[in-house]
């Protein structure tokens, strides 16, 4: 059971890939602003790191990475200019940032996947001042299901690429898997209000979003891929769905908040179309099946993809955090579509 003390840093292990992070996103459909931010700590590396993904009303994007040495004040959750503060455990948070952000005026394509790594990319000055309040009790991701990946996907993965590299990846995943299964993870849908100021021009925002807190071993080279979807239509429906493929296993989890009741997912599936990029979808159709058997059919179009490279000891990992327009039951809302792929 989650406790108020879980809303702060936990005691790490000595595993090299032990990591803890706090994540928040915001979507304001009225003003067109959206953002996602994360602050994390990797004790073995002696680093606290963070990022901000920014989605502007004109569908351009912004991105910044932050990093600092471990903070001696363990009550602070911060990295560079990003600071998040728990106002009331399991209930409300305050997110602030004051600093530069790289701005990308052109839409993302397969040809410029690494542009967020460019230190010379144009910058703007960003200030965030956001208050988040939960819509429901945290959902604990210990309630997840494990199945087998489809045979066709396994066959394609086994017959593509260099056999030695494939074997090395499989061995790494096999070694990391027992520790990764013991990781902790919970999420909440939230309401958000505050101010986004870009180059001195403030805009009041009010919308919905998602928060995530996880800690434990997280080796980004172990999964073959992951899919993470979230959207909030208000109290009528909020959902979160995650899928991670590791070796021959497919691990799924998530929840729906429907008319005041939070329920774990039994399973979920999706179908996607691709034309702009093979790494993120243009459209996606999703069917969520709750533990009760109730199903939710949801459609979405990706409107603003933001591909971000995560550097690892080996090959790069691509995480595309895309703003999407979701449709369900005659309602429309903005949310996140996140696709991760290994580039090696």
Q: Give this prediction's pTM.
A: 0.91
Span between the terminal Cα atoms of the chain, in Å: 39
In angstroms, the CA 238 to CA 234 distance is: 7
Q: Taking the domain 21-342, which CATH number applies?
A: 2.40.370.10
* Apex 292 CA angle, 287 and 295, nearest 5: 20
Kind of pairing, strands 295-304 and 184-198? Answer: unpaired
331-342 and 139-140 as β-strands: parallel, antiparallel, unpaired? Answer: unpaired
Please, which residues have CB within 8 angstroms of residue 155's CB and are 6 or more apart in sequence? none
Contact 44, 14 (CB under 8 A): yes
100 in Cβ contact with 123 (< 8 Å): yes
With vertex at residue 41, the alpha carbon angle to CA 145 and CA 264, rounded to the nearest 5 degrees, is 20
**One digit per residue, pLDDT tens: the chain, 344 residues?**
899 999 999 999 999 889 999 999 999 999 999 999 999 999 999 999 999 999 999 999 999 999 999 988 888 999 999 999 999 999 999 999 999 999 999 999 999 999 999 999 999 999 999 999 999 999 998 755 555 545 455 445 544 555 545 545 554 545 555 555 678 999 999 999 999 999 999 999 999 999 999 999 988 888 889 999 999 999 899 999 999 998 778 999 999 999 889 999 999 999 999 999 999 999 999 999 999 999 999 999 999 999 999 876 667 899 999 999 999 999 999 999 999 999 87
- Tell me the CA distances in angstroms from 295 to 231, 252, 261, one per residue in order: 16, 16, 14
Q: List the beta strands (DSSP E) in 199-235.
A: 201-217, 225-232
């Amino acid at each position: 059971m989650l406790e108020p003390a879980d809303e702060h840093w936990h005691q790490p292990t000595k595993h090299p890939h032990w990591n803890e992070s706090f994540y928040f996103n915001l979507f304001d459909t009225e003003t067109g602003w959206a953002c996602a931010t994360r602050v994390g700590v990797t004790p073995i590396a002696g680093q606290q790191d963070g990022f901000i993904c920014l989605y502007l009303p004109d569908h351009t994007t912004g991105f910044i990475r932050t990093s600092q040495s471990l903070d001696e004040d363990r009550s602070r959750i911060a990295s560079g200019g990003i600071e998040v503060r728990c106002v009331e455990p399991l209930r409300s948070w305050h997110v602030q940032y004051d600093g530069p952000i790289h701005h990308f005026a052109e839409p993302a394509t397969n040809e410029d996947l690494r542009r967020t790594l460019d230190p010379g990319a144009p910058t703007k000055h960003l200030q965030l001042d956001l208050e988040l309040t939960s819509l429901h009790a945290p959902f604990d991701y210990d309630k997840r299901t494990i199945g087998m990946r489809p045979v066709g996907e396994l066959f394609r993965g086994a017959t593509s690429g260099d056999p030695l590299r494939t074997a090395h990846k499989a061995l790494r995943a096999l070694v990391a898997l027992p520790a990764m299964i013991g990781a902790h993870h919970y999420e909440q849908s939230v309401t958000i209000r505050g101010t986004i100021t870009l180059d001195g021009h403030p805009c009041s925002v009010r919308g919905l979003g998602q928060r995530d807190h996880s800690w434990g071993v997280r080796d980004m080279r172990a999964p073959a891929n992951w899919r993470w979807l979230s959207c909030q239509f208000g109290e009528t429906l909020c959902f979160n769905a995650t899928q991670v493929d590791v070796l021959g296993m497919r691990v799924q989890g998530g929840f729906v908040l429907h008319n005041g009741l939070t329920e774990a997912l039994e399973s979920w599936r999706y179908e996607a179309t691709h034309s702009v990029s093979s790494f993120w979808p243009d459209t996606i159709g999703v069917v969520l099946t709750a533990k009760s058997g109730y199903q939710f059919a949801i459609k979405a179009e990706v409107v603003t993809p933001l591909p971000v490279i995560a550097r690892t000891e080996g090959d790069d990992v691509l995480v595309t955090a895309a703003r999407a327009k979701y449709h369900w039951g005659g309602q429309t809302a903005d949310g996140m579509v996140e696709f991760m792929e290994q580039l090696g």
